[in-house]
Copies of this chain bind each other. A is one copy, B any other.
Amino acid sequence: MSAAAVGRARARLIAVARGDEPPDLVIEGARVFCAHTREWLDGDVAIADGLVAGLGAYEGGERIDARGRFLVPGFIDAHMHVESSKLTPAQFARAVLPHGTTAIVCDPHEVANVLGSDGVHWLLDASEGLPLTVFVMAPSCVPASGFESPRRELTVGDMEAILRRRRALGVAEMMNFPGVIAGDPEVLRKLEVRGASHVDGHAPGVMGPALDAYAAAGIRSDHEATTTDEALEKRRRGMWVLLREASNARNLRALLPLVREHGPDFCAFCTDDREPDMLLREGHINQMCRIAVEEGIAAEDVLVMATLNAARAHGLDGFGAIAPGHRADVLLLDDLVSFAPSLVLAGGRVAARDGRAEPFDVPATPAHVLGTVRSAPLAEADLALEADGPVRVIEIVPEQLITIARTVEPARSGGRVVTDPERDLAKIAVVERHHATGRVGRGLVTGFGLRRGAFASTVAHDAHNVVAVGVADADILACAARLQELGGGIVVASEGAVTGELALPVAGLLSDRPVEEVVEGLDALHAQLAQLGVTIEAPFMTLSFLALSVIPALKITDRGLVDVERFEIVPLGAS
């Protein structure tokens, strides 16, 4: 809108509030949640040009009869990564709007690893005009470490450019907490980047003097607390506690005593990483509301954390409350138990009804975010494992991101180390896929239970190279070749041929298909993996974190095995 058009819209909103012009829409008779006082008010809510005009009695406009229902602000996710949903922003919006989420604050560091700042600018473009409001934080840690090979490093200059964009708010989670606490000048420079109004934190388990050091750097939020003690200490240090309920980190119940004992101030909800099946089957922020009420937190305190507090954590004026001049993101709830909205308005328009999103225009996907898998052709020789004596093995810990660094005496054949399905020893390879360098990291992994075949993915935190696990080299090669053809995704192979696949053509991370299809595709692949012997829950998610070089103990990148505790590349041989 031009400045003049903004002025005219504002003048009309004011006239509607005064009662001199009819609103576009009136929601009649609901109990209206006031986030600023945590109470329920009676009155009709008038909406004009996508904003709330006021609460009172109004003539004219379309009417929605909301008697007997609760009208609450749309939910806001205070910290998350859209990419974890494996959905494009538009498909993500379609997935979460029916759950009542109308705004998110996301850190697009996965697309940034694959596409550089182009990925972040694309995500901002691809979310322009969606009924879901997408705010972005400038990724601060690309690459996650020097052991990883993203497309390129994201610089302070890239961050500055991102922060010039509308909907860009600040510096995304500063995951390099050891760097901050150590006072590394390069890391501190990212915290002072021009245009950032605030900095999100990420400090798992950090407490005491180290936490003071981290907070002293100007970091004012954290979403990694797993205990009430940790969360309380962070709040006492002036940080927003973003209570998390992710697919791989279900921390909410453990943190609710903080709210029970100290109130909801400086607390907001976030999902961090949610897989598509969790979005579809459990919901989004509304699932957190459900749990919190179940755990005995007053609905009013729950709602303020799910709405206004997330807005306040990020300085989002005009979001998170049903008040004049605020964006008309509102939900009708039949009860304060299920938190299943019967109607979702985003910017004053119906965005979802009874669990289904209304159709909306989706921007076309530009070519430059497709076809991002550029590996050198992979041959059997690239997968050869050579070492004398005992070797290092990555051991998976079920349902956790950490691994254990094991040492075993491997099977050998023709002088080479080989897989040993009887002892659950599979091969793992990470193939650089951004610049076709031909760099391949190789090792052994245990814990999947794989008896034959292979599976592979271009979702491999954080650099998102190709990660593959297999018993037979031929199956690994088949997987890698197919991922190249698909432009990314997840594939399963056995007996030398690909047997199942889910294409993730956008950056090799995201599908432009609806969440239901993506979940169906994943379910089919999970079933195939079970046939191949895999026993653990969520094997693809587990796989995707084996390349993340900043979580203990033993990980693997295209540069080789990483001993995260010693923070160095280590050889396969353990002797």
Where the two chains meet, the residues of A that have a C-beta atom closer than 8 Å to any C-beta of B are 3, 6-7, 10-11, 13-19, 34, 36-37, 39, 41, 51-56, 180-181, 183, 185, 188-189, 191-192, 197-198, 208-220, 232, 235-238, 262, 265-266, 312, 315, 317-318, 321, 323-326
Contacts and interface: CB of A to CB of B under 8 A. Distances in A.
Interface centre among A39, A56, A325 (most CB of B within 10 A): A325
A17 to B, nearest CB: 4
A236 B188 contact: no
Contacts of A183: 10-11, 14-15
Contacts of A210: 18
Contacts of A13: 216
A238 B53 contact: no
How many copies of this chain does the complex contain? 2
Given A10-B217, A54-B216, A238-B326, A265 B36 contact: yes
A184 to B, nearest CB: 9
Contacts of A3: 192
B36 A236 contact: yes
A15 B217 CA distance: 10
Q: Which 4 A-B pairs have the closest CB atoms?
A: A54-B212, A238-B323, A215-B324, A216-B324
Given A6-B192, A180-B14, A265-B36, A56 B212 contact: yes
Contacts of A34: 236
A321 B239 CA distance: 11
A3 B189 CA distance: 9
A184 B401 CA distance: 58
A220 to B, nearest CB: 7
Nearest to A232: B37
Contact of A216 (B53, B220, B237, B315): B53
Contacts of A325: 215-219, 238
17 contacts: A14-B181, A18-B213, A19-B209, A34-B236, A37-B236, A37-B262, A39-B262, A41-B236, A53-B216, A54-B212, A54-B215, A54-B237, A198-B317, A211-B324, A212-B324, A218-B318, A218-B325
A10 B213 contact: no
A315 B197 CA distance: 10
A6 B189 CA distance: 10
Contacts of A189: 7
Contacts of A6: 192
Nearest to A318: B218
A238 B312 CA distance: 12
Contacts of A54: 209, 212-213, 215-216, 237
B192 A7 contact: yes
A241 B6 CA distance: 27
A324 to B, nearest CB: 4
A23 to B, nearest CB: 11
A15 B216 CA distance: 10
B181 A18 contact: yes
A136 to B, nearest CB: 19
B324 A7 contact: no
B10 A188 contact: yes
Contacts of A192: 3, 6-7, 10
Contacts of A18: 181, 209-210, 212-213
A438 to B, nearest CB: 39
A14 B182 CA distance: 8
Contacts of A55: 212, 236-237
Contacts of A323: 215, 236-238
Nearest to A240: B36
Contacts of A53: 212, 216
A259 to B, nearest CB: 12
Contacts of A185: 7, 11
A232 B41 CA distance: 12
A453 to B, nearest CB: 49
Contacts of A39: 262
A235 B36 contact: yes
Nearest to A46: B212
A324 B56 contact: no
A463 B183 CA distance: 52
A341 B210 CA distance: 31
A406 to B, nearest CB: 34
Given A211-B324, A238-B323, A312-B312, 17 more contacts: A3-B192, A10-B188, A10-B216, A13-B216, A14-B183, A14-B188, A15-B183, A16-B216, A17-B212, A36-B235, A36-B265, A37-B235, A55-B236, A212-B324, A214-B324, A216-B325, A220-B317
